[in-house]
């Protein structure tokens, strides 16, 4: 059964709320296993076991948090072993024009360096989901859509 891993860091709880919505969307996509883990609990073995990895972080000065970056830094030990896995990203920030897109791009950039396949979006929220402040109902719907899109691609690439 294909597996999706949602990895997140959250200080205020906003990014955690988003992570749970992303997981909910992924679960709705079909027959797959979805796991949600805090960044500090995530090991390389978790990344290796997943067919899809969706990462979320608060935006700190236009970058991901140190805890999520630590997951990525540790993943250098499994470089090239994540090739072909599907990726996606989400972030929460304190305000508009506060670096949310650069945060998303930093997460996606690391995934691309690993050879992962990124599920983008042509119509809106191209790099992933970015929310300002506490996620509202429409923000959580966007998170669910991200989870569904990534899961759908995982299922397409890993047919039963």
CATH of the domain at 137: 3.40.50.360
Mean of per-residue pLDDT scores for the chain: 95
- The helix (H) or strand (E) run that includes residue 37 is strand 33-38
Domain that holds residue 117: 3-157
How many structural domains is the chain composed of?
A: 1
**Token pair for residue 158?**
């890993």
**Cβ 4 vs Cβ 155: under 8 Å:** no
**What is the tens place of the pLDDT at every residue in 83-127?**
999 999 999 998 777 889 999 999 999 999 999 999 888 888 889
Planar angle of CA 55, 115, 3, nearest 5 degrees:
50
> How far is residue 86's CA from residue 93's CA, in Å, rounded to a whole number?
24
**Model confidence pTM above 0.85:** yes
> How far is residue 3's CA from residue 113's CA, in Å, rounded to a whole number?
21
């Amino acid at each position: 059964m294909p597996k999706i891993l949602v990895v997140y860091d959250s200080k205020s709880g906003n990014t955690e709320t988003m992570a749970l919505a992303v997981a909910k969307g992924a679960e709705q996509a079909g027959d797959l296993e979805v796991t949600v883990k805090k960044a500090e609990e995530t090991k390389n073995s978790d990344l290796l076991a997943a067919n899809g990895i969706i990462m979320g972080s608060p935006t700190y000065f236009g970058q991901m948090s140190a805890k999520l970056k630590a997951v990525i830094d540790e993943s250098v030990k499994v470089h090239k072993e994540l090739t072909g896995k599907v990726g996606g990203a989400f972030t929460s920030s304190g305000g508009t024009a506060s670096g949310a897109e650069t945060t998303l791009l930093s997460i996606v950039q690391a995934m691309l360096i690993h050879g992962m396949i990124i599920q983008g979006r042509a119509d809106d929220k191209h790099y992933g989901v970015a929310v300002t402040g506490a996620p509202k109902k429409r923000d959580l719907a966007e998170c669910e859509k991200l989870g569904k899109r990534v899961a759908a691609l995982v299922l397409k690439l890993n047919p039963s």
